[in-house]
Amino acid sequence: MSEDVKKPSEPLFSKKNKKLVTDPLTDNNPITIQVLGICSALAITVQVEQGVVMSAAVLFVLIFGNVIISLLRNMIPSRIRIIVQLVVVASLVIIVDQLLAAFLPDVSEKLSVFVGLIITNCIIMGRFEAFAMANKPWPSFMDALGNSFGYAWILILVSIIRELFGSGSFYGIPIFGSPLPGEEWGLYTMGYMNNNMMILPPMALIIVGIIIWVQRSRNTALIEEH
């Protein structure tokens, strides 16, 4: 009987599975190490709220997508696999887009095309190709979890810095006071000003660059050979 030769099933939270979650958070981060998904990270990190919503959208799409692709992996003919993956991710993105438009119309408007552009986010197609096509649903789920949180914490960190210094607030709550002419309070009465460059995408690139710099100087094994 095949029952006898079947390997003992792997525990759900084995070391290997846990590593699938923790690795993308640090040493194999999709943004800082693989340098994927940069476009959205630069474009929508002006405010924390947008960063959080975008992260949640990517989390949803990546987890469901990875699991679906993993379930279908033995049925997908390899010649048309990219098209199948695109169909899956596009359907999921449409669901997210409609949900956001229905329940968070403000944020949805600010994110504009970038929700739709999740379809082309390299992290998602990359995980489908590199992981879900060759692994079982549970590890795929763990992998999606790790990668989307790895994406999320960079996004949220960048957006916290940009909102704090660019608009003087955190999640819409004023931290440094108000710069409105005539009714200034807080730091602005002492001549402090919001940094306009934080609002511009180049500054997000610089902040991501600094995160990469700090990460690689703490762990020199991550520095690429030239």
* Residues that bind other proteins in the complex, under the rule CB under 8 A: 191-193, 195-198, 200, 206, 209, 213
Nearer to other proteins, 114 or 192 (CB): 192
CA distance 151 to 158: 11
Minimal distance, residue 212 CB to other proteins, in Å: 10
Nearer to other proteins, 20 or 203 (CB): 203
b/e 55-74 (16+ beta carbons within 10 angstroms → b):
bebbbbbbbbbbbbbbeebe
Nearer to other proteins, 4 or 183 (CB): 183
Token duo for residue 151:
């994406």
Nearer to other proteins, 141 or 176 (CB): 176
Token duo for residue 125:
């197609």
Query: Per DSSP, what are the bridge partners of residue 173?
Result: 170
CA distance 52 to 36: 18
Minimal distance, residue 113 CB to other proteins, in Å: 25
Nearer to other proteins, 46 or 132 (CB): 46
Minimal distance, residue 217 CB to other proteins, in Å: 9
Nearer to other proteins, 33 or 198 (CB): 198
Token duo for residue 207:
């902040």
CA distance 15 to 155: 27
Minimal distance, residue 210 CB to other proteins, in Å: 8
Q: Which residue has the tokens 């084995």?
A: 14
What SS3 state is found at 179?
A: coil
Minimal distance, residue 170 CB to other proteins, in Å: 20
Is the distance from CB of 150 to CB of 29 less than 8 angstroms?
yes
Minimal distance, residue 159 CB to other proteins, in Å: 18
